[in-house]
Amino acid sequence: ETGVTQTPRHLVMGMTNKKSLKCEQHLGHNAMYWYKQSAKKPLELMFVYNFKEQTENNSVPSRFSPECPNSSHLFLHLHTLQPEDSALYLCASSPRGGPMETQYFGPGTRLLVL
Amino acid sequence: QKEVEQNSGPLSVPEGAIASLNCTYSDRVSQSFFWYRQYSGKSPELIMSIYSNGDKEDGRFTAQLNKASQYVSLLIRDSQPSDSATYLCAVNMNYGGSQGNLIFGKGTKLSVKP
């Protein structure tokens, strides 16, 4: 596979469930990002990992828990979510997290919380 | 609060016309500027990046940057129905170790009528 992949592509979960989103990049990058995209809102940066170290937590509620076991994989663990957490969750990667670098996005996971 | 502002549209242009998309940003020292295209239900894909004042051309697309006015634009010449999408402007944050992080505008929805 090439680029950035995400699984699952669609997810429906209840508020008491626990689920995980997975992101994998095949670009040899070292920086990975989680974004949330809700209707009529700009893309919101959630977490950033650079060389497996978390460098940004953009005031995200603790019901979202990221994990980055290596530079190619990024997870977002979800538990006791709220209906307002329903959104498109996008993963992205860039070479080193530098200011002149392009971020490449995965296809996203469409999440619905009931 | 660092912000990126875009007119949400929709911007409607006839096929073959020039579409002009505009973006303003609040952080005077931002270094890098990106235009992403997002089709409905898909993830953002990079159209253009620009780092210096002036114009940058790539095929039918021209990005224009004016750092003094904190303004970046995207021109699409000979617009095609396949250009119908939401165009996202993104600007890098410019503080500390987060210089590679991006702030996105809400996007401008472009509709090209045959």
Q: Do B101 and A102 touch (CB under 8 A)?
A: no
Distances from the Cα of B105 to the Cα of B6, B59, B102, angstroms: 6, 24, 10
Å between A79 CA and nearest CA of chain B:
24
Amino acid identity of residue A9, one-letter, is R
Cβ of A48 and B45 within 8 Å? no
Residues of A in contact with B97 (CB under 8 A): 50, 55
pLDDT in tens, chain B (114 residues): 778 999 888 999 999 999 999 999 998 888 899 999 999 989 999 999 999 999 999 999 999 999 999 999 999 999 999 999 999 999 998 765 667 889 999 999 999 999
Minimal Cα–Cα distance from A54 to chain B, Å? 11
CA B105 to chain centre: 9
Across the beta sheet with A4-7, the strand order is A4-7, A18-25, A73-79, A64-70
Peptide bond into A66 cis (omega under 30): no
With tokens 């997290």, the residue in question is A97
The DSSP result for B12-71, as a single string, is: EEETTSPEEEEEEES-TT---EEEEEE-TTS--EEEEEE-SSEEEEETTEEEEEETTTTE
Chain A touched by B87 (CB under 8 Å) = no
What's the pLDDT at B89?
97
Q: How far is B107 from chain A (nearest CA, A)?
A: 7
Give the span between the Cα atoms of B7 and B107, in whole angstroms. 7
Q: State the Cα–Cα distance between residues B88 and A45, nearest whole angstrom.
A: 14
Residues 35-54 of B with CB under 8 A from A: 36, 42-46, 49, 51
**pLDDT tens for residues A55-108?**
888 889 999 999 999 999 999 999 999 999 999 999 999 999 888 899 999 999
Q: Are B62 and B22 in contact (CB under 8 A)?
A: no
Strand A31-37 relative to strand A44-50: parallel, antiparallel, unpaired?
antiparallel
Predicted local distance difference test score (pLDDT) of residue B95: 64
Structure token pair of residue B113: 């009528």
The amino acid occupying position A62 is S
Q: What pLDDT, in 10s, does the model give residues A32-60?
A: 999 999 988 899 999 999 988 888 888 89
- Report the distance separating Cα A45 and Cα B8, nearest Å: 20
Contact B31/A100, CB-based, under 8 Å? yes
SS3 A13: strand
* Residues B43, A40: C-beta atoms closer than 8 Å: no
User: Which pLDDT belongs to residue B27?
Assistant: 86
Per-residue pLDDT for A1 more than 70? no
Given an 8 Å threshold on Cβ–Cβ distance, is A43 in contact with B44? yes
Q: How far is CA A61 from the centre of its chain?
A: 14
